[in-house]
Each structure stands twice: as structure tokens, then as C-alpha cells.
Structure 1
């Protein structure tokens, strides 16, 4: 077998070329969405390279520029020639939001595992190797960072985050201390099954719970730093948006593939109430001889009948749209202007 360039491995014959390809395959893709982070991007790349110096396996860094209006891309390009760094800068056509930028990075990432983190230097890339090891050791599909000692403003960041974390855990059933931490490690094959929408990156564990058991999702305490540059893009108003997003997540988790059941159940319930009212009015009119033409209850019953019909027909239309979607709507929620690599920049 050795003369043919192959060897026996776990009962299978593997060629030398296949072994070399497996050894050179990317183990990890680090995805970092950026928006107006010109002061942070240089130190960020330096910290990531320092943290990954002893990783020992091939990895890549993807910086996703979400339509920055400053020198973020120009500063990032300065690191394209850095020795030992496999860097891709993905420029989006405009600002699509952090969720869309994160989706773009996940779609382009080639690693077996994917790490995501913020670009404002608050997440510490030194946690990434330990999180990768913990993910493998605990046999998880998603490992979420827990900012146990969070270095943020109490009123503007901590309190809204705690409210959001409680609501998300209460209504989705996925119990975690910190949904909002962007530092997460995924198995690529799992997260690529999830399509992120709107501003719902906070709900990624809930989306992942739709494709794997909750026992395959875990968390781990990570380091958190105070913001050094720029201005936070979140505030107390985000709590209200999280509540609206939470309602959407609850709907998608329970009725994504069968929206007709949601609208149909409401329609049938309202229809049952209107039928009881109409039955009562029928008895009152034809058995007891009372006049019902001017009674508000008759108008209420008629409105309930119309509402019931509208909800049931809405459910039918929603079912038709859902089935059309599941036939393969792969339209991304972002547009890539350019992917810049060392080769393309030369």
C-alpha cells in the first residue's frame, strides 16, 4: 500500500492526496462585522493574530464591512500583506445591518468551524481557541460567550440586555445567560442551515435550536472589555425592538412551516364565538319574538364572522407562500460589492 501512496486509516484506504487536502483544509473561519470602526480595526487584527498564533491549524479571518462611511476598509487593507494571515475583506454595497453582515460572513466562510465576534474590541479573541476546544470536548454545535463581568453602561446596555435575555429565555425555552454576546463558535454545517433575518442576530441560539436539540447548545464565560473607540450603536430603545423581534421569533419557531395553523386557529376560534352569538340572537328573534335589528350584539356577531373568514383565508395564503418559500428561495439579505484578498489587491 505504501508504494501506491495510500495507507489504512480506521478500516478505510485513504490516498496521500486526500490526506494532504484534509490537513490543509480550513479548521476555523473568524467572522467580524464592521461598521465605522476605523480606529478599532488595526488593533483588532493585531489581537486576533496574537490570539491565534498558537492555534496550530489553518484558519482565516473575514472582515465584513457593512457600508462604513469612514476609513475602515482602507485601514483593514493595510493588513492584507501580513505574513501568515489569510485575510478576506468583504465590502457590502451599503449598510444592511449587523445581522445581514454576519450572514454574509457565514455564507462566505470556508472553515469547518465558524467564530463570530464584534469589531469594537469589546470581545477578546484570546477566548477563541479555548472556546473551540470546549465546543469539541462538550460535543456542541453552538457555544455562546457569556460576558459574566460585562464592562458596559448599566442603564444604556446592561439593563436592556438583562430584560432581553430574560424575555428570550422565557419564551423560546433556550436558557442562556447572555444572548447578545457576539462571540460564538458554530459548526459550519449547522449554522449554514440557518437563515438570519432582520436584526435578529441576538436570537441565533433560538434559530439554531430549530435545527439541533437544545442539549447541543452551550455557553462559556468570556472576557469583556469596555469600548475604547467610537460610540455604541445600541441603547434603551433596543429593548422595545427586541420585544417585537421576539414575537416574530416565537411565530417562526412554532409556525414557520405551518402558518395556516396559526391564522386558522384564530379564525376558527372567532368563528365559534360569532356562531354562538348568532345562535343566541336567532333564538331570541324567532322563539321569543324580540327585535334584534338594532342591537349592537348583531353588529358584533357580523364583524366577528367577517374577521373569522379573513383570518382563515390569510392562513391559506400564508401556507401557499410558505410552500413557495420552501421550494428554494435563496435570495440573500445583503449585496456584496467586492471581496478583497491579498491576491486581488496585488
Structure 2
């Protein structure tokens, strides 16, 4: 199979039939063998009924339905697990991603040898304040912390070699940073393609301030995991050593001062340096414990799905 198109969605009943017809037309005109995997992330409208109808009419359409809304990252993870195409294309279901871009994305993976190609919506139709400025800030911060030089990390239209999606773990809200996850997994040939962005035709945007905040928290998380995910003791142990050393230094100072320099002065417990020493030594010990716990968890953790599937369509 040439291409798997993975489409996570939430309440996009109005766009699904049009999107399916558009993708099918592109695939047939380019003689691609394909599958379209719709992942219904807990929609409360008629999205699943439309997916079921499409699947009954076209065996190349497959559907996954979650019991509830688990998030876009979990939907992508479920789609990646089922994908079988040599090249995996992801796109949003709101018709803002253009299926006509698929052939060139496919060629960049198959012919140019990229592991991942990310779309770049250079000209956008979103609100400048609501989405454009936050996206620019996200992209700048992601470039600085990850070293991956992309202009648009958050573009839903991406192409992957199959072994890339099988070897990355997308969870939380990490779908924004899949190129970083891919780089951390050893897939370093990452390209970018300017793609056409289309104004939203149906429904309302799912972007809000909570996603803005969550995105930055996830960026901090992915920085930590990239730098210390396999060696948490290196971070927490270093911080613990610094804090404990500071506390120990103050303790020695207080002891020497009380025994030899000023034996008749104030009690040690009446001096602020005592509480600084006590606090820093306790914090340093806690950092050490956190490092040990991190190492233990890392060595004993087992994979566990972060979503539950209610229905599946057309999967063997």
C-alpha cells in the first residue's frame, strides 16, 4: 500500500464527506493504493454515522471511535498503530488542509529520502491575535529548545515514513512536537514544504487559551524528556548535590563560628544561616530522592494505552 491518510477529528460532521471525496479523487488520479483512517475522538454530533456510511461505501475507508474525547495526540497514536501505508499522511478534518498536496509530500518521502516532511502554512487565514501570534511564539520556542529548524511545528499536514510513526510515542498534547519526537528517536532527515492553508468552511476552531498554556507546558516537558528522559538522575542529582553542598557549607560556617570565633554569641538556631542550611540540605535530599525515583520508574514502566476504543470499521 502506498499511502495511509490518518485524520483525527472532533465534531466535524459537515466536512467529512467532502474531505473523503477530495482525498479519493487525488488518490485515484495519481494511481495510489491507499487507506483513509478516520479517528473519531469522542464526537457528540453525527461524525461517526457519516464515517460508518463512508466505510460501507468504500473499503479503503477505516474508522476508529473513542469512548470519549481523549485528545488529538491519542487519536494520532491510534491511527499510527493501524496504518499500513509506506507513507503516512496526517491532516485535519476541517478542510483547512489541502489534499492536493499529498502527491508532492509522498514524493518527498519516497524519492527525496526524507523521514518526515512538515507542512508550512506560510499564508494563514486564522485570526492574527487568536492563533497566528501564539503559533509564531510556539514555533520560535520549539526551534530554540529542540534544534529542529521548522517554521510551522503545529501544521496538521505532515508526511512520514512508516517506520517513523511506528517508533514514536505521541501522548498528552505532543502532536505539536512530533518532529522533535522523531528527531529524538533517530529520524533526523526532516524537511518542510510550503502548503496551501484554506479558510475554515464549517464549524468552529478548537483552539483556545487552554491549548496555548498546555502547549508551552508540553514544550517544557519535551525539553526535559529530550535532555534527561533517559537519565533523570543527571538533572535531579546535580541539583541535589548543589543544594546539599550549599547547606553543608553554611553548616560548617556556623559550626566553626560558634566553636572558635564567637563561642559566646547567639545560639545557632537564632541565626538565619541555620535555616538556610537546613532548608537547602532538605531540598537537596529531596532532589536526590526524586532522581532515584525517576530512575526506578524508568526501569520498571510498562506501556499502557491512554485511550479506549469503542468501535472500529474495516480493519482486518
The answer, yes or no, to whether TM exceeds 0.5 is: yes
Contact 1:155 1:236 in 2 (8 A): no
Shift of 1:81: 3.9
1:313 matched residue in structure 2: 289
Equivalent position to 2:136, from 162, 172, 195: 162
Contact persistence 2:87–2:109 (CA under 8 A): no
- Aligned counterparts of 1:227 and 1:276: Cα–Cα separation in 2: 62
In structure 1, distance between residues paired with 2:76 and 2:136: 23
1:246 and 1:224 mapped to 2: Cα distance?
25
Residue number in structure 2 paired with 1:35:
10
User: Separation in 1 of the partners of 2:309 and 2:103?
Assistant: 29
Q: Does 1:297 align with 2:273?
A: yes
CA RMSD in angstroms, aligned pairs only: 1.5
- SS for the counterpart of 2:39 is strand
| 8 A Cα contact 1:157 1:236, kept in partner | no
Q: CA–CA distance in 2 between the matches of 1:298 and 1:164?
A: 43
TM-score scaled by length of structure 1: 0.87
Hey, which bits of structure 1, 4+ residues long, moved more than 6 A?
none
- SS of residue in 1 equivalent to 2:298: helix
How far off its partner does 1:341 sit?
A: 2.2
Partners of 2:115 and 2:187 within 8 A in 1: no
Partner of 1:240: 213
Contact kept in structure 1, 2:98 and 2:196, CA below 8 Å: yes
For 2:35, what is the secondary structure of its paired residue? strand
**In structure 2, the residue corresponding to 1:167 is in which secondary structure?**
helix
Does 2:191 correspond to 1:218? yes
Between the aligned partners of 1:152 and 1:293, the Cα distance in structure 2 is 61
Report the counterpart of residue 314 of structure 2 in structure 1: 341
Report how many residues are paired: 313
Cα pair 2:27 2:33 within 8 Å, conserved = no
Alpha-carbon contact 1:52-1:126 (below 8 Å) kept: no
CA–CA separation in structure 1 for the residues paired with 2:187 and 2:95: 32
Q: Note the residue ranges of structure 2 that are not aligned, 5 or more in a row.
A: none
Q: Which residue of 2 aligns with 1:228?
A: 201
Helix, strand or coil for the counterpart of 2:159?
strand
Deviations 1:86-108 (CA, angstroms, capped at 9, x unpaired):
11011111110111001100011
Distance 1:305 1:46 in 2: 65
* Aligned-pair CA distance for 1:237: 4.2
Match of 2:231 among 258, 281, 300: 258
Map of 1:263-278 to 2, 5 A cutoff? 263-278=236-251
- Secondary structure of 1:89's counterpart equals strand
Alignment counterpart, residue 164 of structure 2, candidates 172, 190, 193: 190
The question of whether the paired residues in 1 share the 8 Å contact of 2:6 and 2:79 is answered with yes
CA distance in 2, matches of 1:240, 1:86: 38
Tell me by how many angstroms 1:265 deviates.
1.0
CA deviation vs aligned residue, 1:42-78 (integer Å, no higher than 9, x gap)? 1111111112122323211100001100000111222
Residues 80 and 342 in structure 1, CA contact (< 8 A), matched pair in contact too:
no
Whether the 8 Å CA contact 1:32–1:62 is kept in 2: the answer is: yes
Q: Normalising by structure 2, what TM-score?
A: 0.95
What is the aligned counterpart of 1:46 among 1, 4, 21?
A: 21
Report which stretch shifted further, 67-76 or 48-57.
Answer: 48-57
Q: Distance in 1 between matches of 2:231 and 2:72?
A: 29
Q: 2:49 aligns with which of 66, 71, 74?
A: 74
Q: Which runs of 5+ in 1 are unaligned?
A: 1-25
